[in-house]
Amino acid sequence: MSAARRPSGTGLRTGALRLFMLFPITLVAGLSFSLQAPASSGEAPSSDTQTATPTPEPDRLAIPTLPENPGPLDVGRVAYYYNCMPCHGDKGQGLTDEWRLVWVEDHQDCWSRGCHGGKAGDQAFRIPRYIPPVMGPSSSLTRFTSEEELSDYLWTSHPPQRPGDLDEMECQALAAYLSQNARSSTVRMERAPAEEGNLGPPSEVLAMRIGAILAFTLGAAWLIGRRDHPRA
């Protein structure tokens, strides 16, 4: 009875090469499945969890309330609501079409007859067609270098229909409120691109890494094959 032959070195290398090439394919398939398969807790969801409770939308025209010991920003927020928000928007966005549609129907057209169009017989003060934003990166208040300068401007010019109607404390509080909101909105808008980067969504980044691993593995396998089977 003849002894069993030991596998040659070439056979071992060929088997290892096949395993080496099978590894990245299995890796890609497994990761692709993990990206597509939804997470499961192992239990069927109950009827209570299947029905999502709708979140009520906040009332954008709700009157703000002052705390027991209000600070300048609290006073400024209330002053903005009564004297600035109707024209400059609840978020300082300006008199946009979207903002006008928040109001009741008979108040949505500011320039209809008898309203703010500046026509003879109108019962209210004239409102221009364009009113700029006062918060965010497009704020028209960026020309002011300090809250004091902004406060002085508001005191002598606002509200436009009754300049000087606000006292000095209200103007200072309003300037502080506008400055804080304009500054925070600008910082948030400028930081977003730097934090997100240019790599795309996480799934795309993972796919790029998998592709790089696969290309490297196949290249290494091709080089091993050429070394074991050189051309004549």
Three-state secondary structure readout of 83-151: HCHHHHCCCCCCCCHHHHCCCCHHHCCCCCCCCCCCCCCCCCCCCCCCCCCCCCCCCHHHHCCCHHHHH
For residues 31 and 48, is the Cβ–Cβ distance under 8 A?
Answer: no
For residues 106 and 203, is the Cβ–Cβ distance under 8 A?
Answer: no
Cβ neighbours of residue 127 under 8 Å, at least 6 residues apart?
87, 95, 110, 111, 116, 117, 118
Q: What is the pLDDT of residues 58-68, one digit of tens each?
A: 899 999 999 99
Q: What is the pLDDT of residues 11-21, one digit of tens each?
A: 545 555 555 56
Location of structure tokens 């890796």: 27
Q: How far apart are CA 124 and CA 116, in angstroms?
A: 5
pTM over 0.85: no
Total residues found in the chain within this entry: 232
Q: Taking the CA atoms of the chain, what radius of gyration do you get in angstroms?
A: 34
Give the number of C-alpha atoms closer than 13 A to the C-alpha of residue 36, restricted to the C-beta side: 7
Q: How far apart are CA 60 and CA 113, in angstroms?
A: 26
Q: How far does the chain reach from its first CA to its final CA, in angstroms?
A: 37
Where the chain has pLDDT below 50, the residues are: 12, 37-41, 185-199
Q: How far apart are CA 11 and CA 13, in angstroms?
A: 5
Residues 32, 36, 41, 43, CA torsion sign: negative
Tokens of 113: 């007859």
